[in-house]
């Protein structure tokens, strides 16, 4: 009987794996378990990831909030246009608008600094679960549990960095605390811009086409990584030399066709596939609606100033782009949740798990107690959410207040022993904190920020009792109605007129000063930061309690879920390097509609309106009209140039810029988006509808060679 049960269970797991063959953003150590050779992979798992040896992982980096890949021995990085966008915006002015016109450095000495950018390369990662589980084994108090996890994390990291100077270490939790890994990174701190196509190619279709198919965007850019002459990580210096990666990716000689096997190694941000109904309820009814409304308000203000002033438009461009992308993502998730009745489905799943435990009263009782704890902790989170959102709103609306709090908070934390400081304020974090202060000026347009900050304060003072921020109530006590609005407007205008924190040099000079010195300056933003500190600390203490409770109960829920599904669960994405695979494939979004997996240059021309975001550059129109496609024409696509393609690869935010590789590990595309139907894939993966969208490497090369005449790029990649 036992043997028969094992056979049935094995068959069930096999069928589950086959049915959802493309699902999962897997840890690199688990690739061998996927039996990929039987599914189309023609290289060994060791060629993708092998600690201590050059592998495909060695050619992948985390950069600019997305992913990039090395494509030459001289540190050339290929990534998305939208990943490099902020670096381009920071180097643009109303006179030299690199966003609009693009940028190209045909020699190394012409490359410009990608301000604020770093490249993180994963060297290895180690399972340290036992250390963490042992440390919290007997701790029942959730706040103490969280503090202990923070303490152990700092200790493990400090020990590793002391033993291996020159590397950065980070702890990442998997499966909601069931496992912990210590990741080892090499950080390249000097990144420069090499080649970015004009916005009419790199962002063709704009927000109209964002998250949509068919797509015709040349979403790619080239950066370069630099290190010191001895190969060590170093800040920008004219004496630095191009970084030599342990491995770089080779361009595929043969293009893709329908049903081809493809895979990705990248840095996906965050998925939430194992969340309970309580978490789904929070996102559906609180988080997404609030942020969607807030983003609408902010973008409205940005547009008002951008339409009147080109300098304002450039300063605010990166913020606007990020907010609009988040808006569409949040809106799509919210619509998707409601469309598939995700909340009801989660509730039904949880009921089914309970029913499966009916024959085991002890386990059923444990499961029911677990649900009671979930309800209690999320009920409290819902009560606290308005105040949490108000604090977030202050940071979003005023980067100057954010900088003031950063400087003020560091003045407090630096008085503590390093390992007792709050996360993010240790000595290892000082370069990061200073860089944040430096980057503010490149997106700061004071008139817009004054309006946004005033609007946020007006919202906060009108929140229900118990949800407002006490320090802000005290500032405007005694004012009501129009008088209250007037008092807020006057305070904000005066604060921005008097503050020293708009000047970057002044901020950096103040960073590291003691608290007494900062308060003696009598800057309005330092005074506000100090007044907010008690509220922020109370909120942080609740966060620790919330995290501590979830750290105890989520792993237990994962255990019940895993037993119910009868299979091995991949961990949710969390910003660490992951592997995903799938096939080139179209999809059917609705009745009588079928999407092909490839778009072509002809489709770009079809969308041309002559106005942004569908304005095709004249030279590209001429290339299409004369059919000057060179070797990039594909007979199967009516002798046209492929632009973008669909695949069943599982991806999410952070995967932008990830290399799409064929079965032989050769570069065939650069992932940049998902289809609208896949937005909900952060919560649930649908193999019939979820698709990743990538720019075809043939379009990248076509634009570089034929449109820009950047032969040096192709030559460096070994193609000329």
Q: Please state, in angstroms and rounded to a whole number, the distance separating the CA atoms of residues 120 and 63.
A: 7
Which among 58, 72, 81, 82 is annotated as catalytic? 82
Q: What is the DSSP string of 547-586?
A: HHHHHHHHHHHHHHHHHHHTSPPPPPP-SS-EEEEEEB--
Pair of tokens at residue 81: 């246009």
Determine the 3-state secondary structure of 702 from DSSP.
helix
Pair of tokens at residue 693: 């969208």
399-413 and 524-565 helices, crossing angle to 10°: 90
**Smallest Cα–Cα separation from 634: which of 602, 670, 658, 586?**
602
Q: What is the DSSP string of 466-521?
A: TTS-HHHHHHTTT--HHHHHHHHHHHHHHHHHH-STTSHHHHHHHTT--HHHHHHT
What sign for the dihedral angle of Cα 309, 315, 320, 321?
A: positive
Torsion on CA atoms 652, 658, 663, 664, rounded to nearest 10: -160
H/E element, 334: helix 310-339
Q: Please state, in angstroms and rounded to a whole number, the distance separating the CA atoms of residues 53 and 247.
A: 10
> In angstroms, what CA-CA distances link 402 with 86, 234, 490, 517?
19, 27, 20, 19
Q: Is 92 a catalytic residue?
A: no
H/E element, 389: helix 361-397
User: Residues 716, 72: contact at Cβ < 8 Å?
Assistant: yes
**Smallest Cα–Cα separation from 13: which of 590, 563, 424, 625?**
563
Q: Is 379 a catalytic residue?
A: no
Which among 656, 658, 678, 694 is annotated as catalytic? 656
Q: Please state, in angstroms and rounded to a whole number, the distance separating the CA atoms of residues 60 and 44.
A: 18
User: Residues 670, 220: contact at Cβ < 8 Å?
Assistant: yes
Burial 376-407 (b: 16+ CB within 10 A, else e): ebbeebeebbbbbbbbebbebbbbbbbbbbbb
**Could you give the residue ranges of the DSSP H alpha helices within 137-259?**
142-163, 199-202, 206-209
| DSSP conformational letter for 19 | H
User: Residues 182, 167: contact at Cβ < 8 Å?
Assistant: no
Q: Residue 262, Cα to own-chain centre: how many angstroms?
A: 22
**Smallest Cα–Cα separation from 704: which of 692, 685, 694, 719?**
719
User: Residues 587, 689: contact at Cβ < 8 Å?
Assistant: yes
Determine the 3-state secondary structure of 660 from DSSP.
strand
User: Residues 658, 670: contact at Cβ < 8 Å?
Assistant: yes
CB atoms within 10 A of CB 188: 23
Which among 22, 190, 219, 640 is annotated as catalytic? 219
Phi/psi at 530 (5° precision): -65, -40
* All residues at 6 or more sequence positions from 539 whose CB lies less than 8 Å from its CB, including other chains: 384, 387, 388, 391
Determine the 3-state secondary structure of 309 from DSSP.
coil
Q: Is 219 a catalytic residue?
A: yes
Catalytic residues: 82, 219, 656
């Amino acid at each position: 009987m036992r043997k028969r049960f094992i056979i049935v269970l094995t068959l069930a797991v096999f069928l589950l794996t086959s049915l959802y063959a493309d699902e999962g953003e897997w840890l690199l150590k688990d690739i061998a378990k996927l039996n990929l050779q039987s599914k189309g992979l023609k290289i060994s798992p060791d060629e993708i990831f092998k600690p201590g040896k050059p592998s495909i992982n060695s050619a992948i980096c985390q950069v600019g909030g997305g992913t990039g890949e090395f494509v030459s021995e001289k540190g050339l990085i290929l990534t998305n246009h939208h990943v490099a966008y902020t670096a381009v915006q920071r180097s643009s002015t109303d006179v030299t608008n690199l966003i609009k016109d693009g940028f190209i450095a045909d020699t190394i000495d012409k490359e410009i600094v990608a301000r604020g950018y770093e490249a993180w390369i994963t060297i290895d990662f180690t399972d340290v679960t036992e250390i963490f589980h042992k440390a919290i084994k007997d701790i029942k108090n959730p706040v103490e549990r969280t503090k202990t996890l923070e303490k152990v994390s700092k200790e493990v990291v400090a020990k590793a960095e002391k033993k291996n100077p020159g590397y950065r270490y980070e702890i990442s939790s998997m499966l909601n605390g069931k496992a912990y890994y210590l990741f080892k990174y090499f950080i390249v701190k000097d990144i420069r811009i090499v080649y970015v196509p004009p916005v009419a190619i790199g962002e063709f279709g704009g927000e109209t086409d964002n998250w949509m198919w068919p797509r015709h965007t040349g979403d790619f850019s080239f950066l370069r990584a630099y290190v010191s002459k001895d190969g060590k990580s170093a800040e920008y210096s004219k004496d630095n030399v191009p970084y030599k990666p342990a491995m770089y990716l080779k361009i595929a000689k043969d293009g893709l066709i329908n049903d081809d096997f493809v895979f990705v190694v990248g840095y996906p941000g965050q998925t939430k596939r194992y969340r309970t109904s309580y978490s789904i309820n929070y996102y559906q009814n609180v988080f997404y609606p609030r942020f969607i409304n807030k983003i609408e308000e902010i973008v409205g203000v940005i547009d008002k100033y951008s339409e009147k002033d080109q300098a304002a438009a450039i300063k605010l461009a990166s913020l606007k782009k990020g907010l609009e992308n988040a808006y569409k993502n949040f809106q799509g998730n919210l619509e998707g949740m409601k469309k598939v009745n995700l909340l009801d489905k989660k509730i039904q799943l949880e009921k089914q798990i309970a029913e499966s435990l009916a024959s085991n009263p002890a386990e059923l009782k444990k499961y029911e107690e677990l649900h009671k704890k979930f309800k209690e902790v999320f009920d409290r989170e819902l009560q606290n959410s308005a105040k949490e959102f108000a604090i977030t709103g202050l940071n979003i609306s005023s980067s100057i207040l954010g900088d003031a709090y950063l400087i003020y908070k560091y003045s407090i934390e630096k008085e503590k022993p390093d390992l007792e400081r709050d996360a993010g304020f240790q000595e290892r974090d000082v370069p990061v904190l200073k860089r944040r202060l430096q980057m503010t000026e490149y997106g700061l347009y004071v008139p817009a920020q004054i309006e946004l900050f005033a609007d946020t304060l007006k919202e906060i003072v009108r929140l229900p009792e118990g949800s407002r921020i006490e320090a802000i109530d005290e500032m405007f006590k005694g004012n009501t109605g129009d008088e209250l609005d007037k008092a807020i407007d006057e305070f904000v205008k005066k604060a921005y007129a008097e503050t020293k924190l708009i000047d970057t040099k002044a901020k950096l000079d103040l960073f590291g000063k003691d608290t007494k010195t900062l308060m003696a300056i009598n800057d309005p933003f330092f005074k506000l930061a100090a007044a907010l500190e008690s509220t922020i600390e109370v909120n942080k203490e609740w966060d620790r309690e919330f995290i501590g409770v979830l750290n105890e109960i989520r792993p237990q829920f994962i255990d019940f879920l895993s037993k119910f599904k009868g299979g091995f669960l991949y961990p949710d994405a969390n910003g660490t390097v992951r592997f995903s695979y799938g096939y080139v494939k179209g999809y059917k979004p609705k009745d009588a509609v079928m999407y092909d997996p490839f778009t072509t240059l002809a489709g770009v021309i079809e969308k041309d309106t002559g106005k942004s975001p569908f304005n095709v550059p004249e030279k590209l129109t001429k290339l299409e009209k004369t059919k000057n496609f060179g070797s990039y024409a594909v007979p199967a696509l009516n002798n046209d140039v492929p632009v973008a393609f669909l695949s069943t690869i599982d991806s999410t935010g952070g995967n932008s810029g990830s290399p799409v590789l064929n079965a032989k590990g050769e570069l065939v595309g650069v992932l940049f988006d998902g289809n609208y139907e896949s937005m909900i894939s952060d919560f649930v993966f649908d193999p019939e509808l979820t698709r990743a969208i990538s720019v075809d490497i043939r379009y990248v090369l076509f634009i570089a060679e034929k449109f820009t005449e950047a032969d040096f790029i192709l030559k460096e990649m070994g193609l000329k």
